[in-house]
């Protein structure tokens, strides 16, 4: 059967509980550390890929607009798929996100997971999962995590690559995530440039690398035991350790807004009062509060009252990337 040449896929952003920051190999986009994430269900990237025989180059639309920087990364990723399929066709790629792009909500993770899933289907490729992960990772270090649902572990493997392991399906431990959006514009410095600056200048970077494997092992244990209090403590520590590396980078990477800190303090106060919730923050000013289902309404209400919170997204855990009908 010949390849359909067109396919559409959906992938959901993921939120890291044990963070990834830094690269071991920039050209291969190999993360310097592993990570542990959960995949969301309330927000998504949808990507349509159409390969056209005879077409030179790729045309990339992101939320309806041409984006030169995104196009280069998309083409690098598509080159790997074209090579695997033995074709040279250029592609039309149309991606839309139903959430703010490049604002610390993992749009590159869901975007590249959807891209490789759609492109592989369009080319009729049945790739081993580790190959698909490698191709997604070339696009973005956190993208392989969005290929899977629920809790996902991304771990450096002895051969120098990274392995991806789904730990728990979404319904095995159905936590809730409340995202407090405090500013919807793109972040001041993208993760890629930020990671390079941290490696070159942050005095805490080497300690981050040294202590990370123990955090990852602890993260696996917490998830496998469904131990919420231990996961809460670990995830907040990993988040703050990453932000300490960022803050000590020159020039400093300060991704928080005053409202981010206000949300963090609200989450801390809730937990002190016995509410099962913890925070995590990525390379942007949004705060993600992870909680047990029964606490979701309380957490939502408390974050909604924080001045500077412009929107809240309530999410459960979602599935991995998959194709949908065109």
Chain positions contacting ligand DP6, by CB under 6 A:
16, 19-21, 29, 35, 108-109, 140-142, 191-192, 282-283
**Closer by beta carbon to ligand DP6, 55 or else 192:** 192
**Closer by beta carbon to ligand DP6, 120 or else 239:** 239
- CB 194 to ligand DP6: min, Å: 8
**Distance from the Cα of residue 22 to its chain's centroid:** 14
**Closer by beta carbon to ligand DP6, 123 or else 218:** 218
CA distances from 252 to 1, 243, 271, 285 (A): 54, 10, 30, 15
Residue nearest to ligand DP6 (CB): 141
> Tokens at residue 276, please?
């099962």
**Closer by beta carbon to ligand DP6, 6 or else 211:** 211
- CB 100 to ligand DP6: min, Å: 14
**Closer by beta carbon to ligand DP6, 95 or else 108:** 108
**Closer by beta carbon to ligand DP6, 35 or else 182:** 35
The whole-angstrom separation of Cα 280 and Cα 129 is 29
Residue owning tokens 């550390």: 33
> Tokens at residue 319, please?
């599935």
B/e letters for 256-277, b = 16+ CB within 10 Å, e = fewer, are bbebbbbbbebbeebbeeebbb
- CB 84 to ligand DP6: min, Å: 21
- CB 53 to ligand DP6: min, Å: 30
**Closer by beta carbon to ligand DP6, 50 or else 241:** 241
Give every CB contact of residue 198 below 8 A, 6+ residues apart in sequence. 21, 22, 205, 245, 246, 249, 253
- CB 19 to ligand DP6: min, Å: 4
> Tokens at residue 81, please?
């798929």
What is the distance between the terminal CA atoms of the chain, rounded to a whole angstrom? 19
- CB 258 to ligand DP6: min, Å: 20
Helix (H) or strand (E) holding 267: helix 258-272
> Tokens at residue 214, please?
């123990």
CB 300 within 8 A of CB 178: yes
Strands (E), 149-272: 151-156, 162-168, 176-181
**Distance from the Cα of residue 228 to its chain's centroid:** 21
**Closer by beta carbon to ligand DP6, 236 or else 282:** 282
CB 322 within 8 A of CB 9: yes
- CB 20 to ligand DP6: min, Å: 3
- CB 137 to ligand DP6: min, Å: 8
């Amino acid at each position: 059967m010949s390849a359909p040449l067109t396919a559409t896929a959906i992938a959901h952003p993921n939120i890291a509980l044990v963070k990834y920051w830094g690269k071991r190999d920039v050209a291969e986009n190999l993360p310097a550390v592993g990570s542990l994430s959960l995949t969301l269900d309330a927000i998504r990237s949808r990507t349509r890929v159409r390969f056209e025989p005879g077409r030179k180059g790729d045309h990339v639309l992101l939320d309806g607009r041409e984006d030169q920087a995104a196009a280069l990364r998309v083409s690098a990723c598509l080159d790997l798929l074209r090579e695997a399929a033995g074709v040279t066709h250029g592609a039309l790629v149309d991606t839309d996100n139903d959430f703010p792009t490049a604002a610390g909500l993992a749009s590159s993770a869901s975007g590249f997971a959807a891209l490789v899933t759609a492109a592989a289907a369009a080319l009729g490729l049945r790739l081993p999962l580790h190959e698909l992960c490698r191709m997604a990772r070339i696009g973005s270090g956190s993208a392989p995590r969005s290929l899977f649902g629920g809790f996902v572990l991304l771990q450096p493997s002895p051969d120098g690559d990274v392995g991806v392991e789904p730990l728990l399906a979404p319904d095995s431990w159905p936590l809730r995530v409340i995202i407090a959006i405090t500013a919807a514009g793109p972040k001041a410095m993208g993760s890629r440039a930020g990671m390079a600056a941290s490696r070159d200048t942050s005095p805490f970077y080497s300690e981050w690398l040294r202590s990370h494997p123990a955090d990852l092992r602890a993260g696996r244990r917490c998830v496998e035991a469904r131990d919420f209090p231990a996961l809460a403590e670990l995830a907040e520590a990993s988040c703050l350790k990453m932000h300490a590396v960022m803050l000590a980078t020159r020039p400093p990477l300060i991704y928080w807004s005053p409202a981010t800190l206000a949300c963090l303090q609200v989450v801390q106060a809730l937990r002190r009062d016995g509410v099962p919730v913890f925070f995590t923050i990525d390379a942007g000013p949004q705060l993600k509060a992870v909680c047990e289902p029964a606490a979701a309404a309380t957490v939502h209400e408390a974050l909604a009252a924080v001045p500077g919170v412009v929107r809240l997204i309530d999410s459960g855990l979602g599935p991995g990337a998959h194709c949908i009908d065109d």
